[in-house]
């Protein structure tokens, strides 16, 4: 059995492996790793071509995860995601054929291009790790992680994900364009496919459960719980926000703070751990008022204002990732 420091080192090594294929996105990579350790699902909201798919494949390879990919289009059906039964003439029986959701890491590419009916097929899988097909509930493999991508709202052929589905994503990130110097490195390289071949598995999929247990054991002072509740309450009482953070969102904030503390080599969280992940964990859960939309306010901006308005508790520690 590896000790706590060795497990922390394993997680950091996985991050370094992912960085072989994804250049210049260290902060994004660390937060995705934190969400995986916190037993969450990840949504990447960005334009095509910035490396979202490469990011997902790199994480799958670094952690030895069985991965499947679905390219969502308007004609994808729930059965294309969950699976279906086929009649086999030789046996005279129906045989269930598993859909791509039966894996460790599901890359749901361009999720907001498909129909709401197909989008909802993932809800039970994301919340309970199960899939109900033809009246029978089947357990998904452990671990089960959804890393979904969506094109920005308003892009051709897209429709908004329902609030219930957005709430099931622990974090929502935007990778954005690379810096000029990073894009030069990308152009000089052999391409993402070649870079993915260089990634070495750092630990097997079943070891992820041990890392998650360590994250669960990270200590949060009562002052930090109070800090989280104050932040959440501000989102619920804000004049420009119709729907604030749900209790599921509050729990996501706590889990993400613990995961960031673990990656930073500590067995306790500090205020900066909450601060660093608040916008990424909170903004996609907020439903803005018509007044906010008319004023072209963004959820990220309002979350940032709330973060500045709530005083941090005085629990500090130097750290680095």
Q: Average per-residue pLDDT in the chain?
A: 89
Q: Is the pLDDT of residue 319 over 50?
A: no
Q: What does the pLDDT average to over 187-201?
A: 77
pLDDT at 157: 60
pLDDT at 1: 47
Question: Which residue, of 191, 211, 231, is where some domain finishes?
Answer: 211
In tens, the pLDDT along 89-100 reads 888 888 899 999
Q: Does residue 138 sit in the same domain as residue 283?
A: no
Within a domain: 318? no
Q: Does residue 192 sit in the same domain as residue 230?
A: no
The C-alpha atoms of residue 32 and residue 22 are separated, in whole angstroms, by 13
DSSP designation for 268: B
Q: Does residue 225 sit in the same domain as residue 190?
A: no
In tens, the pLDDT along 204-233 reads 888 899 999 999 999 999 999 999 999 999
Q: Does residue 299 sit in the same domain as residue 268?
A: yes
**In this structure, what CATH number is given to the domain that contains residue 294?**
1.10.8.80
pLDDT at 13: 93
pTM of the shown model: 0.91
Q: Does residue 195 sit in the same domain as residue 226?
A: no
Within a domain: 319? no
In tens, the pLDDT along 13-47 reads 999 999 988 988 999 999 999 999 999 999 998 87
State the angle between helix axes of 4-21 and 208-216 in degrees (0 to 180), rounded to the nearest 10: 120
pLDDT band at 7 (very low <50, low <70, confident <90, very high): confident
Within a domain: 133? yes
In tens, the pLDDT along 251-279 reads 999 999 999 999 999 999 999 999 999 99
Q: Does residue 251 sit in the same domain as residue 203?
A: no
Within a domain: 94? yes
Q: Which domain holds residue 237?
A: 218-313
Count: domains in the chain: 2
Q: Where are the beta strands (DSSP E) in the chain?
A: 42-45, 67-71, 83-88, 93-98, 105-109, 130-133, 136-139, 145-150, 171-173, 241-243, 287-288
**In this structure, what CATH number is given to the domain that contains residue 143?**
3.40.50.300
Q: Is the pLDDT of residue 104 over 90?
A: yes
């Amino acid at each position: 059995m590896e000790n706590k420091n060795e497990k922390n080192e394993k997680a950091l090594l996985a991050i370094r492996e992912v960085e072989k294929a994804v250049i210049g996105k260290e902060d994004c990579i660390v937060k995705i790793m934190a969400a995986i350790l916190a037993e969450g699902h990840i949504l990447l909201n960005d334009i095509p071509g910035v490396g979202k798919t490469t990011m997902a494949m790199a994480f799958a390879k670094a952690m030895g995860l069985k991965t499947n990919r679905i390219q969502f289009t308007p004609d994808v059906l729930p059965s294309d995601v969950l699976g279906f039964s086929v009649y086999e003439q030789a046996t005279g029986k129906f045989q269930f054929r598993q859909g791509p959701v039966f894996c460790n890491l599901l890359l749901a590419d361009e999720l907001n291009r498909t129909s709401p009916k197909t989008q909802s097929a993932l809800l039970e899988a994301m919340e309970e790790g199960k899939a109900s097909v033809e009246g029978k509930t089947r357990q998904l493999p452990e671990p089960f992680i959804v890393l979904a991508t969506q094109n920005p709202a308003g892009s051709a052929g897209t429709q908004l994900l329902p609030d219930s589905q957005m709430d099931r994503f622990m974090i929502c990130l935007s990778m954005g364009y690379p810096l000029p110097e990073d894009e030069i490195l990308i152009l000089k390289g052999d391409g993402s496919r070649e870079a993915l071949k260089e990634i070495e598995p750092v630990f097997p999929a079943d070891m992820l459960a041990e890392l998650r247990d360590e994250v669960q054991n990270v200590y949060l002072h009562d002052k930090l719980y109070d800090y989280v509740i104050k932040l959440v309450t501000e989102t619920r009482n804000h004049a420009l926000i119709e729907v604030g953070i749900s209790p599921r969102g509050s729990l996501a904030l706590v889990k993400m703070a613990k995961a960031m503390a673990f990656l930073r080599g500590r067995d306790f969280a500090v205020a900066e751990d909450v601060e660093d992940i608040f916008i990424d964990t909170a903004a996609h859960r907020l439903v803005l008022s018509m007044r906010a939309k008319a004023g072209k306010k963004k959820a990220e901006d309002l979350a940032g204002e709330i973060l500045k308005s709530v005083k941090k508790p005085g629990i500090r520690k130097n750290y680095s990732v």
